[in-house]
Amino acid sequence: MTISVGAGLTVNALTIDVEDYFQVSAFAPYIKRSEWDLRECRIERNVNVILDMLNEHRIKATFFTLGWIAERYPGLVRRLVNEGHELASHGYGHERASDLTQQAFALDIERAKKMLEDLGGAEVIGYRAPSFSIGEGNLWAFDCLAQAGYRYSSSVYPIKHDHYGMPDSPRFAYKVRPDLLEIPITTLRVCNKNLPSSGGGYFRLLPYVLSRWMLRRVNEREQQAGIFYFHPWEIDVDQPRIAGIGAKTRFRHYVNIAKTENRLNRLLVDFAWGRMDQIFLGNPLVEASLADV
């Protein structure tokens, strides 16, 4: 379902996963959680750069924020809320949902929600699992999210990937529980396969013109709003390099980081953007499109 503004432009959802470079799942074998507080934290600098960029373009976005980050940088949380952005949950300590028991997951999402709401002074209704780690093996996570009071999740990436993905799941927003929407990361369907077309490492790896073409095709051919995501560390060329990591991990994390900020500025101009909650919740057109799901 297309959500339009102005002269028929589709409004896409701009989302930022607020975690620092040393917290990414790929670095877990190399950096112990007990060492996180010993690392140089770059998140405040990077999120402030992003907020300034969004202000310049007059764009509001959704920030899926770790409780661990919010606890240490409450001023950052208050700034993004005060400037009109949506504060959403990324869990507390970036533990993959697939690595947790149902009880531990429930405690994590409840802890993060309460902490973010207390620090930000705004209701938190959205959640994104670290590394898109809700899949066929832990669909009970949706029950936990609904019970905790979340109204939507953006935790499923309908692609085939070595670390995550549910390629056979719906590609666009659907009711995963009566009071809970799942809003998957955007893909483009080509030759019976879902191709990633919505940010992260793929946005850095692929030429910008290709990323732009894929998102436009979803908007224009399928009449759907896209969900784009990125991380603050992806604009940070000066972040400390992690020693000893494998070649595959090194490539995925660092490829084209020097180009990301310029590409994002082009993306913000080329498309219309908004917050997840305002695009998908309380909108009669969206609700009508979901009625038969």
pLDDT digits (tens, 9 = 90+) for 246-272: 898 898 899 999 999 999 999 999 999
Q: What is the pLDDT of residue 161?
A: 56
Kindly calculate the radius of gyration of the chain based on its CA atoms and give it in whole angstroms.
18
| Domain extent listing, the chain | 4-290
pTM of the model: 0.93
Q: What is the pLDDT of residue 4?
A: 44
| Phi and psi at residue 111, to the nearest 5° | -60, -45
Q: What is the pLDDT of residue 6?
A: 40
Q: Tell me yes or no: is domain 4-290 CATH 3.20.20.370.
A: yes
Q: Which of helix, strand or coil describes residue 218?
A: helix
Q: Give the residue ranges of the chain where pLDDT is below 50.
A: 1-7, 291-293
Q: What is the pLDDT of residue 75?
A: 97
Hey, CA dihedral for 18, 19, 24, 25, is it positive or negative?
Answer: negative
Q: What is the pLDDT of residue 163?
A: 59
Ramachandran bin of 84, using left for φ above 0, alpha for ψ from -120 to 50, beta for the remaining angles:
left
> How far is the C-alpha of 93 from the C-alpha of 75, rounded, in Å?
19
Q: What is the pLDDT of residues 9-20, one digit of tens each?
A: 899 999 999 999
Q: Which of helix, strand or coil describes residue 30?
A: coil
Q: What is the pLDDT of residue 2?
A: 44
* Residue 265 token pair: 């500025």
Q: Which of helix, strand or coil describes residue 199?
A: strand
252-to-8, 82, 249 alpha-carbon distances in Å = 36, 34, 5
